[in-house]
Structures are given as C-alpha cells and as structure tokens.
Amino acid sequence: MNNGISVMIIDDDESILDALTEMLELEGFQVNTFQQADKALSSLSKKSPVIILSDVKMPKMDGLSFLSRVQFLDKSLPVLLMSGHGDIPMALEAIKCGAYDFIEKPLQPSHLISQLQRAMEKRALVLENRRLKENLAQQTDLDSFIIGESAAIKSIRQHVLTLAKANIDTIIYGETGCGKDVVARALHLYSDRKKGRFIAINCGGISESLIESELFGHEAGSFTGASKRHIGKIEAANGGTLFLDEIETMPMHVQIKLLRVLQDRTIERVGSTTPIQVELTVIAASKEDLEQLGEEGKFRKDLFYRLNVASLIIPPLKDRPEDILPLFHHYSRKASEHYDRPLPTLSQDYVNHLLQHPWPGNVRELKNAVDRFVLGITESSLSLLKQDTDSNGSYEERMEQFERKIIEEGLRHSDGQLNQAAELLDLSRKTLYRKMKKYHLDKQQFKSN
C-alpha cells in the first residue's frame, strides 16, 4: 500500500494475529498488532494514519467498548469488527455504534482485503482534508501576522508555513526595519516548538566582551564580576527558537562556538567543561550577504553553510508598494487603540504621498508615520514626507530634521505647553525636554500672542 495508512490488528489470540499479519503483509499492507485493546487505544490520536481491525470477544475491554472509545476520540477513524460468535443483532449494533464494517470469522481473505482497502482510502481522504483545512486556517491567520498583498509577501507567508513545520535553521535577509523579527517570530509560532520560548538577541547590540557570556552563559567565578551562575540565551531557548539578529556582527571566536552548537546541539557555559544538550531551531537575520562576507573573510564560511539550510529574503518596502496601504491601515488600527484616539480621515493626497515616499526606514519608518497620523499631526506629516523625499543628506541627517520638525509641530499645536506637547508626541516630559535642548528649541517661541 502506498498511501501511508497502516492496519492496526487487535486480538487476544496470538495465533490469529500472526496469521492475519502474514496474510496482509504479503498483500502489501503495513501492519501493527496488539493483544490488548486498552494498549492499542493509548497509541491512537485524531491524526493516526491507521485503520483498525479488532476482535469483539476480548478480556478487559471488548470490541464494542473499544469501538465506543475510538468514536469518542475520532468518529472518522474506521474500525472493522470481527467475531466468530457474531450474529445479525450484534452486527447491527456494531454498525449502529459507528463500526465501518462487521466481518464474521472465519474471514474470507478477498472480502477482508477489499474492505480494508476501502477503509484505507477513506482514512487517507479524511486526513488529507483535515490537513488542507488546517493549512488554510493557518494561512488565514498568518495573513494578519505578516501583513501585505505583494507577491513577495505572499511567497514569504507560504515559505514560513513550510519551513516552520520542518523546524530547520534559517537565514532571513533584509534591510533595517523591514520586519525580519516579525518573520522570525512567525517561524516560531507556526512550528512544533511554539510552546517553547522564543529568545531573541541582537548580536550588534552587545559588546564583544559580553556576547559570549550572553549566548552561552557562565559559571560563578568564571571571570571577574561573575558572582553567580548565568544561563545564556541558547540554553534559555532550549525546546524553542533562538533568533540571532544582525548575526554578521558576531565576533569570529563566538562564531566558532556557535558552529559547534549547530553541529552537536550542545553548549558549554563559560568556565565549565560540562556539555549541555539543547534542542532548538536557530533563525539568523542579516542585512548583509553572508555568503559574500564569507568570501571576503568577514564571516565564517562553515557557519554560513550550516545556517543556510533555508533562507528568506524580505524586499525593502519601496520594492513592494502594494504592501504600504495594508500596513498603514493595520498599524493605524493598533495606534488608534493604543492612544485611545479615533482614526483620522485618510485623504487622497496623503495616500499619494505614502505611495510615492521611498521609505528608507522601511516598515519601522512607516509605523512612526502612522503614530503621527493618529496623533493628529497629519498636515505637517504630509508636507514633511514630501520634503523628505526631495531633500538631500544622509538618512540620519534627514531623520534628525524630520524629528525636529515633528517636535516643533507638537509644541505649536500645544501652544508651547510641555505637558500637552509630550502627550501629543507620546514622549515623557523628560525626553521632550532633552530633545528640545538638542535642537535648541525654546517653548516661548511657540506660545501664541
């Protein structure tokens, strides 16, 4: 048989089990046997790719009782009952209780094989339909997690479902702010490791002297300042997923230790020689081409090949304009709830500028624009988007200009009242004061006469 469905035979008579097993295996069936119905029952689930051939007269749990328990577990699981003591009333009772068929002993091989084949086809169809429905439900749910209508995003969603089920190490490529962390979390949430922890670490945000301890942990006294044992990120992710963002910044000596983790699935804390087994999926993210960095000697080739079981590329937002408005609407609803403000009307001019803006900061920049939109700084945002598009200078310089103008607009709207301005801009008063000092802004110049 080639549909992946096996036959489970249950009979307290070992000689009958042996005879049925030999006959069915010669016919190409895959067979597993049990002499006790309760043990057979404990091995079943709604996903079991099996059909059941069970005797009726058995000690402890008879065939009809067993059938009732299977029906409670999964009404679609075919159970064929057989008995040398059967009669018409018993057969009718079995069918009424949900049996797929009732077969009298001595068994007629041709009839038995025909019924088993039909039952297997039914089970295979049921399991396939369930799988398709489950995938459809996951796909629909994933649509609200990874937002977008572009071909690239649709492809990423499909690959996420496939890779998540496989639980394989993956590299995610993309510019800063394009949502690599969102895709990484989706790979975790739609995998079999979703009940485990999702542990994220930004390799570029930790000093070279601390990253080894952060990843692998350390024992008390292993170095100056290590007063107690510390569990590292890798060990904390045991049973779940480890997300290594900006992995291209990881120091070479740490890359070597990470390679050993990927090869052996064991770690050693700093200051210890005791290996610790870990079971986890590793997802790395980079805005650089790791293969090219490997050729340039800036990233270990062997680590790249070990991580690169699969890879995903998230294009920048400017290359997928179909996603701009779905993302804007999604984050607008969230911002409206967060700030407890009604959604402002989205004008066509504003929509046009959203679609024309190059979004160098990608989704992260778009989300900031959404916050300003919901906070009511719409006209200034519209003009600033246009100015930003046409202005020169580095990204950092343009963002500083943008931040200054947004703060000025907030102060102007609040008539120079710092408490109101801080609330409007969603900043603490201390942060607003610090930024005003940075840009040499005086609240007095914003007070109306």
What DSSP element (H or E) covers 56?
A: none
Token code pair at residue 182 = 């969102």
Residue from 32, 25, 27, 99 nearest 62 by CA: 99
Residue 290 domain-assigned? yes
Shared domain check, 121 and 22: yes
Residue 326 domain-assigned? yes
Shared domain check, 335 and 262: no
Shared domain check, 153 and 39: no
| Cα–Cα distance measured from residue 314 to residue 305, given in angstroms and rounded to the nearest whole number | 20
The CATH code of the domain that includes 325 is 1.10.8.60
Strand order across the 101-104 sheet? 31-34, 6-10, 50-55, 79-83, 101-104
Residue 1 domain-assigned? no
Average pLDDT of span 226-242:
91
Token code pair at residue 257 = 């230790």
Contacts 24+ apart (CB under 8 A), 124-133: 124/3, 124/4, 124/5, 124/49, 126/76, 127/47, 127/49, 130/46, 130/47
Residue 136 domain-assigned? no
Shared domain check, 344 and 269: no
Shared domain check, 350 and 231: no
Shared domain check, 287 and 370: no
Which pLDDT value is given to residue 430? 84
3-state secondary structure of 244: strand
Average pLDDT of span 69-79:
92
Split into its structural domains, the chain has a count of 3
Average pLDDT of span 325-340:
89
The CATH code of the domain that includes 263 is 3.40.50.300
Q: 144 Cβ partners below 8 Å, 6+ apart? A: none
3-state secondary structure of 414: coil
Which pLDDT value is given to residue 416? 84
Which pLDDT value is given to residue 394? 62
Name the least confident of 82-96, 209-223, 265-279: 82-96
The CATH code of the domain that includes 87 is 3.40.50.2300
Q: Kindly tell me if the per-residue pLDDT of 96 is higher than 60.
A: yes
Band of residue 380 on the pLDDT scale cut at 50, 70, 90 = very low
Residue 119 domain-assigned? yes
Which pLDDT value is given to residue 349? 81
- Dihedral sign, CA of 131, 133, 137, 143? positive
Residue 137 domain-assigned? no
Note down the domain range covering 79: 6-131
Which pLDDT value is given to residue 387? 52
CB 99 within 8 A of CB 81: yes
The predicted-structure confidence for 272-298, as pLDDT tens digits, reads as follows 889 999 999 999 999 999 999 999 999
E strands, 257-411, are 266-267, 276-277, 281-286, 310-314
Q: Which of 64, 98, 131 is the last residue of a domain?
A: 131
Shared domain check, 154 and 113: no
| Cα–Cα distance measured from residue 344 to residue 193, given in angstroms and rounded to the nearest whole number | 40
CB 38 within 8 A of CB 62: no
CA 352 to chain centre: 34
Q: 208 Cβ partners below 8 Å, 6+ apart? A: 251
- CA atoms within 13 A of residue 391's CA, in its CB half-sphere: 17
How many separate helices (H) and strands (E) can be counted in the chain? 19, 12
Shared domain check, 337 and 239: no
Strands 79-83 and 101-104: parallel
- CA atoms within 13 A of residue 433's CA, in its CB half-sphere: 5
Token code pair at residue 277 = 């087994």
Which pLDDT value is given to residue 1? 54
Residue 96 domain-assigned? yes
Q: Which of 266, 289, 315 is the last residue of a domain?
A: 315
Q: Kindly tell me if the per-residue pLDDT of 71 is higher than 50.
A: yes
Q: Which of 256, 281, 315 is the last residue of a domain?
A: 315
Shared domain check, 150 and 290: yes
Residue 108 backbone zone (phi > 0: left; psi -120 to 50: alpha; other: beta): beta
Average pLDDT of span 31-51:
92
Which pLDDT value is given to residue 160? 93
Band of residue 86 on the pLDDT scale cut at 50, 70, 90 = low
3-state secondary structure of 59: coil
Name the least confident of 39-43, 114-118, 207-211: 207-211
Residue 257 domain-assigned? yes
Average pLDDT of span 406-428:
83
Q: 166 Cβ partners below 8 Å, 6+ apart? A: 310
Shared domain check, 294 and 224: yes
Shared domain check, 164 and 113: no
Shared domain check, 387 and 287: no
